Every structure is written in structure tokens, then in C-alpha cells.
């Protein structure tokens, strides 16, 4: 039986474009320096919270795509194959790329008579246990006390767990507006509890990052249910001006949460996460001025590279430590205070585009075609 897929919500596709860029700057800032400019530092220091955006968006989109299917129509193994075809090839490529980088830089260090970045204090934790657990996408399931190899891939590990748990979410999603509101509220309450109990706000990854993802994903599932009910009630026929006002309000709430709720890594992280959820819901109707901007071709293309930009950044963040160590160790830091992070950002965008065009998208198409061929055989 052929299932008709829902129409793509292009505003949400374009909304993927900007979060990975902030995450690159955040990871650079945490490992190097901030700029002592509030407008920049406050935004970048809370950059890790854009992971909330992606988890919530993932719950929303998957529920939007699969939520209308009757119980017997959902094919769990086919779903897992499709998700792994999307997530795993680039993850595997970057895992071996960073392994190759580690071998290369240790070789150069041995030849040059200096200490590799992988053997210095506060070195990247690239262990054999981390490699094996990364191969099986379980590295962020509370089994390791550190990020390992491609540290950014902790997100993929949690996303894989959420895919395994998706039938539970899908069961919850078979309801109306009241259940949608309850699922959303439960996710918000769980996330607020995590932010309150954690000593790092919502900046949790290898330890308890799974619970962060579970709560975020629930918010996205609940919002998708509310969106479905809103469409049924005819909300999409409202004037564009109302959608624009809702989106401007959501952007202002998000800006206020970022700049006016204190420094990063605190319980107040929850306000930023909830503002992101509000923005996703406001954009989901695909109408309004902000949605229109996000549907422009440059942002849609950048959004299609977003996974590559996110997954590819660790390679260059670790390479940058080598460049700083060997290529410009005597340079006055003030000379590169602003240029270095934005040069890194430009490299990550180009690298993300290469990964998307030559690794991620072709591998995804090939694996999905093989899956369809196997299903029809």
C-alpha cells in the first residue's frame, strides 16, 4: 500500500540553515575565547541550545510525516532503515575522517619532535571504546564519561535512540488537541526538570543527553499534533498578516530569552528552548514574512547542508588546534581575534556543502533505493 507523504514545510527546511552556524561559533568560543561583545557573546554562549531546536524539529517533522498513518500502516523496520540511511553514512565517514586525522597528526608530531594535540593535556578523548561505541551509535547512551571522536555525533546517537523509541511517540500522537497539549506540556516539564537539576543547564551530552533528547522530541511530537488539529480547524485560511505577527512575536521572545535571561549553562536555559519550540510552531504553517524569508533558495540550500556543517565541524575544530600549534604560534591573538572564528565558519560551510553533496545525499539515495528494492523482492 502506498502512503502519501505530507507536503514539505519549506519554512522549517530553511530554518535548519542558521543553527549549525551558531553551534560552530559556540564550539570555537568554548575551546578558545569569546569576543567581549555582548551582542555576540550572549548569542554564541547559548549556541548549544540550538540542539534543542533540532530535537524538537525532528519530533515535529517525523510526527508530521508518519502521524496520520493507521497503526497497521507504519512499518517499523522500514522507518529505521530510512532514518539510518539519513543519519549513518555521514556519521561513519566523519568517524573515520577523524581517526585518519588523529593518525596523521600523531605521525607529524613524531616526525617533528613535538607533542600531538591528541597527547596534550585536555586532549580529545579518542579511545577504542569510543570508536566501537560510535560505530554502533550508542556513544551517548550514558556508557562513556566523555565525548569521543566526533563529539558532535552525540546528537546522532541520541537521535538514533529516539528513532528506536518512535513507535511509543507515534502511539501518543494518535490523539487530538487535548492529548497534543498534554504531550507538549509533559515534554516541557521534563526539560525544565533537567535544566533545574543539572549543574550545566541544558548543556548535557554524553551523560543524560538521552533524557534531554527524549523531552525535546516529546515537545515536537505534541506540537505536531496541535498543528494537525489547527489545520483541520481551518487555521491556514487566516490572513498572512496574522502568521507574520505570530512569527515576529516568536522571534522577539527568542531574542529576549537569549539576551535577557542571564548567562549560559543555567536553569534559565529552559526559556530559550521553549522560545525555539514556539518559533517552530509559528513557522509550521509555512505562511508569513519570516516563513517567506526562510523559504528563499539560499537558506533552503544552506538548510540542506546543515547536517554536513554540524557533523563536519569537529574535524576542523581539531585541525585548528594543530594549525595554532604549528603554523602561527607566535601571532598576536588580537590580530586574529575576530577573523579566526569566522574563517573557521566559512571553512565549515564549504566542508558541509562538500559532505552533503558528495557523501550524505548520494549515500542516502543509494541506501533508500536498495531498501525499496529489497522490500519489493
Q: Answer whether 47's CB lies under 8 Å from 18's CB.
A: no
Q: CA distances (Å), 350 to each of 16, 66, 269, 305, 329, in order? A: 16, 33, 31, 9, 26
**How high is the pLDDT of residue 330?**
63
pLDDT (tens digit, 9 = 90+) per residue, 214-270? 999 999 999 999 999 999 999 988 999 999 999 999 999 999 999 999 989 999 999
**How high is the pLDDT of residue 2?**
44
**How high is the pLDDT of residue 4?**
56
- Hey, what's the cell of 83? 532514518
- Distance (Å, whole) CA 131 – CA 137: 10
- Hey, what's the cell of 276? 525555539
The beta-strand segments (E) located in the chain are: none
Q: Answer whether 141's CB lies under 8 Å from 163's CB.
A: no
Nearest to 288 by CA among 298, 276, 279: 279
**Residue pLDDT tens, the chain, 377 long:** 344 567 889 999 999 999 999 999 999 999 888 888 999 999 999 999 999 999 999 999 999 999 876 556 789 999 999 999 999 999 999 999 999 999 999 999 999 999 999 998 888 889 999 999 999 999 999 999 999 999 999 999 999 999 999 999 999 999 899 999 999 999 999 999 999 999 899 999 999 999 999 999 999 999 999 999 999 999 988 999 999 999 999 999 999 999 999 989 999 999 999 999 999 999 999 999 999 999 999 999 999 999 999 999 999 999 999 998 888 756 566 667 788 899 999 999 999 999 999 999 999 999 988 876 655 55
Contacts of 150 (CB under 8 A, 6+ apart): 91, 94, 95, 98, 134, 311, 314, 315
Contacts of 159 (CB under 8 A, 6+ apart): 55, 58, 83, 87, 213
- Distance (Å, whole) CA 193 – CA 363: 39
Say whether 139 sits in a helix, a strand or coil. coil
**How high is the pLDDT of residue 299?**
97
**How high is the pLDDT of residue 178?**
96
**How high is the pLDDT of residue 73?**
78
Q: Answer whether 280's CB lies under 8 Å from 56's CB.
A: yes
DSSP H or E run through 29:
helix 19-31
For residue 315, how many other CB atoms are within 10 A of its CB? 20
Q: Answer whether 53's CB lies under 8 Å from 254's CB.
A: no
Nearest to 173 by CA among 234, 224, 214: 224
Q: Give this prediction's pTM.
A: 0.95
- Distance (Å, whole) CA 164 – CA 166: 6
Which residue is associated with the grid cell 522507518?
79
Q: Answer whether 117's CB lies under 8 Å from 186's CB.
A: no
**How high is the pLDDT of residue 44?**
96
Amino acid at each position: 500500500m502506498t502512503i502519501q507523504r505530507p507536503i514539505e514545510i519549506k519554512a522549517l527546511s530553511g530554518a535548519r540553515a542558521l543553527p549549525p552556524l551558531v553551534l560552530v561559533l559556540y564550539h570555537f568560543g568554548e575551546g578558545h575565547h569569546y569576543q567581549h561583545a555582548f551582542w555576540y557573546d550572549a548569542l554564541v554562549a547559548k549556541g548549544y541550545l540550538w540542539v534543542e531546536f533540532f530535537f524538537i524539529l525532528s519530533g515535529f517533522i517525523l510526527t508530521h510525516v508518519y502521524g496520520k498513518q493507521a497503526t497497521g500502516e507504519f512499518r517499523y523496520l522500514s522507518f529505521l532503515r530510512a532514518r539510518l540511511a539519513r543519519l549513518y553514512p555521514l556519521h561513519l565517514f566523519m568517524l573515520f575522517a577523524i581517526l585518519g586525522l588523529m593518525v596523521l597528526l600523531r605521525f607529524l608530531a613524531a616526525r617533528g619532535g613535538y607533542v600531538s594535540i591528541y597527547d596534550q593535556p585536555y586532549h580529545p578523548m579518542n579511545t577504542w571504546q569510543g570508536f566501537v561505541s560510535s560505530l554502533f551509535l550508542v556513544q551517548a547512551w550514558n556508557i562513556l564519561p566523555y565525548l569521543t571522536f566526533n563529539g558532535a555525533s552525540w546528537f546522532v546517537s541520541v537521535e538514533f535512540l529516539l528513532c528506536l523509541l518512535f513507535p511509543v511517540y507515534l502511539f501518543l500522537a494518535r490523539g487530538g488537541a487535548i492529548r497534543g497539549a498534554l504531550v507538549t506540556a509533559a515534554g516541557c516539564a521534563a526539560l525544565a526538570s533537567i535544566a533545574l537539576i543539572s549543574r550545566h543547564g541544558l548543556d548535557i551530552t554524553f551523560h543524560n543527553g538521552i533524557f534531554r533528547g527524549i523531552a525535546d522530541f516529546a515537545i515536537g511530537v505534541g506540537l505536531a499534533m496541535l498543528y494537525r488539529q489547527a489545520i483541520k480547524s481551518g487555521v491556514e485560511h487566516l490572513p498572512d498578516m496574522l502568521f507574520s505577527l505570530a512569527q515576529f512575536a516568536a522571534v522577539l521572545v527568542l531574542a529576549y530569552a537569549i539576551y535577557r535571561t542571564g548567562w549560559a549553562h543555567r536553569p534559565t536555559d529552559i526559556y530559550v528552548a521553549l522560545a525555539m519550540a514556539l518559533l517552530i510552531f509559528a513557522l509550521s504553517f509555512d505562511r508569513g514574512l519570516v516563513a517567506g524569508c526562510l523559504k528563499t533558495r539560499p537558506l533552503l540550500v544552506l538548510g540542506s547542508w546543515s547536517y554536513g556543517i554540524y557533523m563536519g565541524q569537529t574535524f576542523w575544530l581539531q585541525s585548528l588546534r594543530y594549525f595554532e600549534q604549528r603554523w602561527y604560534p607566535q601571532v598576536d591573538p588580537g590580530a586574529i581575534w575576530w577573523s579566526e572564528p569566522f574563517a573557521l565558519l566559512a571553512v565549515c560551510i564549504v566542508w558541509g556543502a562538500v559532505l552533503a553533496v558528495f557523501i550524505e545525499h548520494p549515500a542516502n539515495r543509494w541506501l533508500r533505493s536498495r531498501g525499496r528494492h529489497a522490500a519489493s523482492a
